């Protein structure tokens, strides 16, 4: 929910934001995303491993999933996150995110700071079309798409994402 939280600040307090980076932003309801959120709310097993294995296909591209060492490294990163996220918190986050979706679509045009939107071309959770609409709705936004990456672009394309953010930060000063 990082991008979604980041969207709130320039809308509420535009005077304190100089630039914005949105990675795989979701702002609209989508049947697939709602189904995933519902599954998180309905999870009955607090076991981290089951949770991680069920999330991998939603976060990673087919190519990344097919490479066992990369897939297992991503699973390890998700394990670390899951270990810090009790099931009740995951459920609360899913409910809050579901309630938030659709509430800021009309407000995006109020974001006036330079904005970098990063998306994965193979993102199942937040389809590329949604990232394109977000970028088109923010007057000073630029969209960068990582081909072959899923929702976890910061895992699958870490070097490229870092390059994009570094270049963007230099440009906006």
Residue 1 pLDDT more than 70? yes
pLDDT at residue 50, as a whole number:
75
Burial class, 13, CB count within 10 angstroms (exposed 0-12 / middle 13-18 / buried 19+): exposed
Please give the pLDDT value at position 45.
64
Q: What is the pLDDT of residue 167?
A: 98
Identify the pLDDT of residue 155: 92
**Residue 32, number of CB atoms within 10 A of its CB:** 12
* Contact indicator for 119, 26 with CB cutoff of 8 Å: no
- Specify the pLDDT at position 47: 67
Given a cut of 70, whether residue 46 has pLDDT beyond it is no
Average pLDDT for residues 39-64, to the nearest whole number? Answer: 80
- Per-domain residue ranges of the chain: 1-28+108-173
User: What burial letters (b/e) apply to 113-150, b meaning 16+ CB within 10 Å?
Assistant: bbbbbbbbebbbbbbeebbebbbebbeebebbbbeebb
pLDDT computed for residue 66 by the predictor: 94
* Superfamily holding 1-28+108-173: Alpha/Beta hydrolase fold, catalytic domain (3.40.50.1820)
Q: How big is the chain by its Cα radius of gyration, in Å?
A: 16
- What is the value of pTM for the model shown? 0.90
Average pLDDT over residues 85-95: 85
What pLDDT is stored for residue 41 in this prediction? 80
| pLDDT of the residue at 85 | 80
**Over the chain, what is the mean pLDDT?**
91
Highest mean pLDDT (candidates 30-44, 71-85, 134-148): 134-148
Q: What percent of the chain has pLDDT over 90?
A: 66
Nearest alpha-carbon partner for 164 in 144, 136, 149, 138: 144
Distances (CA, A) of 42 to 1, 34, 55, 140: 19, 12, 14, 39
Q: What angle do CA 57, 62, 66 make, to 5 degrees?
A: 100
Structure confidence at residue 156 (pLDDT): 94
Mean pLDDT of 3-15: 94
Are 122 and 150 in contact by the 8 Å Cβ rule? The answer is yes
Lowest-pLDDT range, 45-49, 102-106, 117-121? Answer: 45-49
């Amino acid at each position: 929910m990082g991008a979604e939280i980041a969207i709130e600040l320039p809308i509420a307090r535009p005077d304190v934001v100089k630039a914005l980076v949105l990675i795989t932003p979701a702002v609209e309801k989508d049947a697939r995303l709602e189904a995933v959120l519902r599954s998180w709310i309905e999870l009955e097993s607090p076991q981290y491993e089951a949770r991680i294995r069920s999330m991998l296909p939603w976060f990673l591209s087919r190519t990344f999933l097919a490479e066992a060492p990369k897939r297992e490294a991503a699973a390890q990163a998700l394990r670390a996150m899951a270990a810090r996220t009790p099931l009740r918190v995951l459920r609360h986050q899913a409910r809050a995110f579901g309630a938030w979706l659709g509430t800021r679509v009309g407000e995006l045009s109020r974001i006036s700071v330079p904005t970098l939107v990063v998306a994965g071309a193979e993102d199942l959770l937040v389809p590329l079309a949604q990232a394109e609409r977000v970028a088109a709705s923010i007057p000073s936004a630029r969209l960068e798409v990582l081909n072959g990456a899923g929702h976890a672009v910061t895992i699958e394309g870490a070097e490229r994402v870092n390059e994009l953010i570094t270049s963007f930060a230099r440009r906006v000063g």
